[in-house]
Structure 1
Amino acid sequence: VMAAAPLYCVCRQPYDVSRFMIECDICKDWFHGSCVQVEEHHAVDIDVYHCPNCDVVNGPSLMKRRTNWHRHDYTEPDDGSKPVQAGTAVFISQLQNRSFASGEEVLVRMQGESVTPRYLEKHGFSQPIAVTEMEGLGLRLPPPSFSVRDVEQYVGGNKVIDVIDVARQADSKMKLSEFIKYYTGDQRPKVLNLISLEFSDTRMSELVVVPDVAQQMSWVENYWPDDSFFPKPFVQKYCLMGVKGCYTDFHIDFGGTSVWYHVLWGEKIFYLIPPTVANLALYEAWSSSTNQSEVFFGDKVDKCYKCVVPQGTTLLIPTGWIHAVLTSQDCMAFGGNFLHNLNIGMQLRCYEMERRLKTPDLFKFPYFEAICWYVAKNLLETLKELREDSRPPQTYLVEGVKALIGALKTWLKREVTEPTSEVPDHIRPNHLIKELTKEVRYLEVREQQPADQDPVCGQAVYQKTSFDSYGARRARRAARKLREQQRLAPKASSNLDVLERHTREVLRRLEVGPLEEDPAFCSTVHGKLNKVSTASAAALEFLEDNHLRLTLVNGRIIRERPTSPSTAEAIQGMLSMAGLLCPSDPQKEAPGPPEPWWSGPEGPPMPTPAGGPPHLHPRLHGDAKSPMDSQGNSSSEAWDHRGPETDTYQYCDPSMSPPLHPSKRPAPNPPPISNQATKGKRPKKGMATAKQRLSKILKISRHSRVFV
């Protein structure tokens, strides 16, 4: 019998890993923080904890005593030897007294209506954008009178949130209602910051509409399929609430995402550092150092720009920008993150940096690799569409695809040692990478052409945007379909076309015995026959007429016995080339040497080539034997006889057998010594067309002075 799970706390419930608990230092029992009114961020301040039962006898819990204002552990002795750590009261005071380069040097100020995907495609998205005139931006928010209590009403007070203790730069969990109580209270013993409240799944989501540019460019919005096995990432709508003195140290947003950020009320100060190669290398080294909190990263780079974002201003931060944020006064802001096509290489670089730094999954973009596979699949379709329309893609898209190919290859190799696959089920990764690589190679060849001309017709081409609306993409597909239909429409017949049709008509009169096999095999054979040349496929439609008598009279083809041995041989050889003739019943074949078909009174005997009868193509299986009927008659006599005893023939295709490993495949057959139909040469794949086969007939028949 299994032992009952131990019960804890005054509520006598089993242990729940998702709930914060604290141990009593007297009775050694464990209690839920919510049951004994102890918040997680308060627990670090308790030196000796007494539970409600023990404090009756032993008195209240003993608290830690503060001994410094510049260290994360405020109980460390202040001997002047320890440097200031980020987020502490001393750090905030020093930061506000520092001087920085003006953010106006890197900031681009724009009107809301001007910030569009087309503008960013043309000018790039490499510098922060500040928008003060909101009209046309597409952003919809609650009015500035919207308070933290309103947030609690729309989101729900029981929602568990992650809160940052700024002085310690450590996070802890608490209910939203407790945070609102702290925010609106008269006493704030600590500086707490809330920056990770994503509310897409709450009623407050209806009050916020993301800026059009972020919506239209977002990978998640454009490429994430509704039937994905992975849950859709929600990173577009965050509510940030911080009190005066909140500080978030330098960081790059997860996955290299770009950010839209609007201050509803209050003020934020951003410290911005561009993502140059040198700065990114310095950032990675700083992030992995043991004394990271003691070093202000802005001092390690050439320039750190200070940008004040007042109430009513929207800030757009591009991919990879390193930034820290100070809340200079109580503030509520809304923001969101989005991946896009403009800076794919930088996004991938940031993601790989996160992996090297072993960033916890909680602080990474959800299913980043999965969405990259979805994007790769869609970009492949985009590149194919542009190529079909003879429209070159923009440079940023080509460079992004190249970076994406490299990343996808790396992730596939990594699967061998780290099987944490995020490859969607309906995507064939190796095939997708191969197809993308082919498109890139095509573009590299095309670059040798003038950039503004179509390599086919030399006309100016239109630079297509990758953010066209769904309707525009649909219209382009319809136009391509119409052009394809026009291309396939019947055209005026040329002389060669007339000759081709006449050749097909000749071949349609060539008969082969019915297939006397089981239906499953017949369906397989028919499937194979559908893949042979046009003339052979046409001959297949008339299998029911199993007698061949062709003769040429006054330029017309009539059904008779073959006019000459050479013509019949040519016809048989032509069918053999198409793979249509092969003895179907080996029991009917004589074990001895084959009797030539001309052994009857129809014509004189002819020497048999050493390589076997001339009408058997070298790619047919089995012994090279002439087809004989059950009476031992020649094949020409068997063709004259109409009845159920007629010999049958079947299509023998080696591809019906399972393919062998290259090391186990037999050596290719040598070419036949003599073959009147092929002139001793194996026809190359795709070369045995109807016109060529008719040419063989004409050449063979010249000695008879017969013209078809």
Structure 2
Amino acid sequence: MQDSNICTHCQLKENPNALLWVKCDSCPQWVHVKCVPLKRIHYPDIPSPSVFSYPKSSQEIKSYRCVNHYEEEFLAVFPRGLPNGKRQRDHGEYEESSHISKRYNFRKNKDIDYIALNEGEARREKMNHPHKETFLTCFEKWENKSNIISAAEFAATFNDIREPYKISDPWSSGVQVPKMDTNNGVLTVNDIMEIMGEDYHVDVMDVQTQMNENWTLGSWNRYFTHTEPGKRDRIRNVISLEVSNIKALELERPAAVKQNDLVDQIWNWNGHLGQVNDEEAEEDNPRPKVTKYILMSVKDAYTDFHLDFAGTSVYYNVISGQKKFLLFPPTQSNVDKYIEWSLKEYQNSFFLGDILEDGFAMELNAGDLFMIPSGYIHAVYTPADSLVFGGNFLTFRDLETHFRIVEIEKLTKVPKRFTFPKFDQVIGKLCEYIVLSKNKETGGGSHTDLIAEATNSKIELLYGYLIKPEVKYKPLNFASRKHLVKALADLVL
């Protein structure tokens, strides 16, 4: 029997060249509007043989009859767009719904609800993301089992690393997750709720629609821990619970991350007093909170392709469960395709991984530590309920990529609250530190490696960013940003 969600013309579920769907008035059969022959499209004010264009939205469509119920296929369109009233909607099994919201990867778009119908674009099963099978096929194509490195080697060669790596001995990396008295000592969602409190608010993403809802940890724990997978109403995901201020969780990042995190290196530096790491300084100017995240995903959760803010690098420690990563390097070709896809209204309509190049895929299991370098475009699938500890960090190594991704965020209109917090401050402080240290006005400070890496090319990158009029930074040790920019330029003249 023909699958009603497969277009009877092109035999495809997803066709990037034909995004608009229409359902037969008498059965659940769907077809792509652009697959219907023009001679079968009827405008009241245009003779059928003279029709040269398709309707652009489902609101223009009055009715559709498929070949399964009528002698000839027939697509009727309202005269010159919408009639006085709205198109009649079904209120049974195929009830339609439409909403505007922000996607998880932070672009304003009209989302497709794969559980209901969104103006006829698509219809999907409740607990099965439409990209699951395509993701798994693409994953098999690019699966990598060889990029495994020791923690010591990773730390020693950090500045030369350009590919994702799994750490063979995560216990030697410095990453720490607290041992608990229950569940064989493994941290659970219930433990996190008890530590942080059941009334603590979290953003919960509906995987099918990529919409965020505000829950409490108590509600999330009931859903994740106490609801059997078959009884969950939707597939949900928590990927933005930042916990660096929750000291009771006793989480520690890998040593190589702390050593190379640009924020760690310069945030509390204040010029003439050198490096400062006391709590009072942190209270006066809180650092960007992106270093420690708890991610909680149920089976079949899927996160679509995205770039982490400012092209940050990522460490990813699986506490329990399983994850599958599909990643693509930030080559010019891949980035151009990502930008084009990001600017489309219906990203969900086709699988970006099918057109990207030089893929890398890796399966992660409980205990694994995964390191992702800057700028990788990636999607993630969850084969089993999972709990993860991870975080983001800027590096001097990837300065060029960071600036490049920041420009992409502007181009794709990422809302400011979803970009790297205080990014201009981080870069401004770095510029001051380099200028004053190079000029030996502060005795150089404690980060000799950072200064050694401050080559002319890196300083030119910093100069190119700081001169942009939209950059907001008030220097600590210079009269104005203009004076700081001139001091940077003097270093490379």
Whether TM exceeds 0.5 here: the answer is yes
Rate the CA distance shift 1:217–1:74 in 2: closer, same or farther, 3 A: same
Name the one with the larger strand percent: 2
Kindly provide the amino acid, as one letter, of the partner of residue 166 in structure 2: A
- Aligned residue for 2:387, secondary structure, equals strand
Rate the CA distance shift 1:392–1:257 in 2: closer, same or farther, 3 A: closer
- Give matches, 1:200-599, under 5 Å: 200-205=244-249, 207-225=250-268, 226=281, 230-384=285-439, 397-410=455-468, 413-414=469-470, 421-424=472-475, 426-427=477-478, 428-441=480-493
* Unaligned segments of structure 2, at least 5 residues: 1-90, 97-110, 180-184, 269-280
Q: Distance in 2 between matches of 1:64 and 1:210?
A: 51
Equivalent residue for 1:148, pick from 186, 189, 206? 189
Rate the CA distance shift 1:309–1:214 in 2: closer, same or farther, 3 A: same
Q: Which has the larger radius of gyration?
A: 1
Kindly provide the amino acid, as one letter, of the partner of residue 211 in structure 1: P
* 1:145, distance to aligned residue in structure 2 (A): 1.9
RMSD: 3.2
Contact 1:193–1:241, Cα closer than 8 Å, also in 2: yes
Rate the CA distance shift 1:315–1:322 in 2: closer, same or farther, 3 A: same
CA-to-partner distance for each residue in 1:617-676, whole Å, 9 max, x for gaps?
Answer: xxxxxxxxxxxxxxxxxxxxxxxxxxxxxxxxxxxxxxxxxxxxxxxxxxxxxxxxxxxx
Kindly provide the amino acid, as one letter, of the partner of residue 102 in structure 1: W
- Aligned residue for 1:439, secondary structure, equals helix
| Aligned equivalent of 1:175 | 216
Q: Distance in 1 between matches of 2:400 and 2:384?
A: 37
* 1:98, distance to aligned residue in structure 2 (A): 4.3
Q: Does 2:104 match 1:104?
A: no
Q: Distance in 2 between matches of 1:65 and 1:84?
A: 12
| Aligned equivalent of 2:26 | none
* 1:394, distance to aligned residue in structure 2 (A): 5.6
Q: Distance in 1 between matches of 2:217 and 2:93?
A: 28
- Give matches, 1:120-139, under 5 Å: 120-121=158-159, 124-139=160-175
| Aligned equivalent of 1:119 | 157
Rate the CA distance shift 1:381–1:422 in 2: closer, same or farther, 3 A: closer
Kindly provide the amino acid, as one letter, of the partner of residue 339 in structure 1: L
Q: Distance in 1 between matches of 2:92 and 2:174?
A: 50
Contact 1:88–1:166, Cα closer than 8 Å, also in 2: no
Structure having greater relative contact order (Cα 8 Å, sep ≥ 6): 2
Rate the CA distance shift 1:88–1:394 in 2: closer, same or farther, 3 A: farther
Q: Distance in 1 between matches of 2:261 and 2:157?
A: 16
Contact 1:139–1:210, Cα closer than 8 Å, also in 2: yes
- Give matches, 1:604-619, under 5 Å: none
Contact 1:243–1:330, Cα closer than 8 Å, also in 2: yes
| Aligned equivalent of 2:129 | 89
Q: Distance in 2 between matches of 1:430 and 1:90?
A: 51
* 1:96, distance to aligned residue in structure 2 (A): 2.8
- Aligned residue for 1:245, secondary structure, equals coil
Equivalent residue for 2:198, pick from 138, 150, 157? 157
Q: Distance in 2 between matches of 1:230 and 1:351?
A: 23
Rate the CA distance shift 1:269–1:385 in 2: closer, same or farther, 3 A: farther
Using structure 2 for the length normalisation, give the TM-score: 0.67
CA-to-partner distance for each residue in 1:232-268, whole Å, 9 max, x for gaps?
Answer: 2111111111100111111111111110001111111
Using structure 1 for the length normalisation, give the TM-score: 0.48
Contact 1:86–1:296, Cα closer than 8 Å, also in 2: no
| Aligned equivalent of 2:236 | 192
Contact 2:177–2:187, Cα closer than 8 Å, also in 1: no
* 1:208, distance to aligned residue in structure 2 (A): 0.9
Contact 1:85–1:91, Cα closer than 8 Å, also in 2: no
Kindly provide the amino acid, as one letter, of the partner of residue 247 in structure 1: Y
* 1:99, distance to aligned residue in structure 2 (A): 5.2
CA-to-partner distance for each residue in 1:118-148, whole Å, 9 max, x for gaps?
Answer: 4223xx1311121021243111113462111
- Aligned residue for 1:423, secondary structure, equals coil
Contact 1:275–1:322, Cα closer than 8 Å, also in 2: yes
User: How many residues are paired up?
Assistant: 365
* Unaligned segments of structure 1, at least 5 residues: 1-62, 416-420, 442-708
* 1:173, distance to aligned residue in structure 2 (A): 0.8
Q: Distance in 2 between matches of 1:355 and 1:340?
A: 21
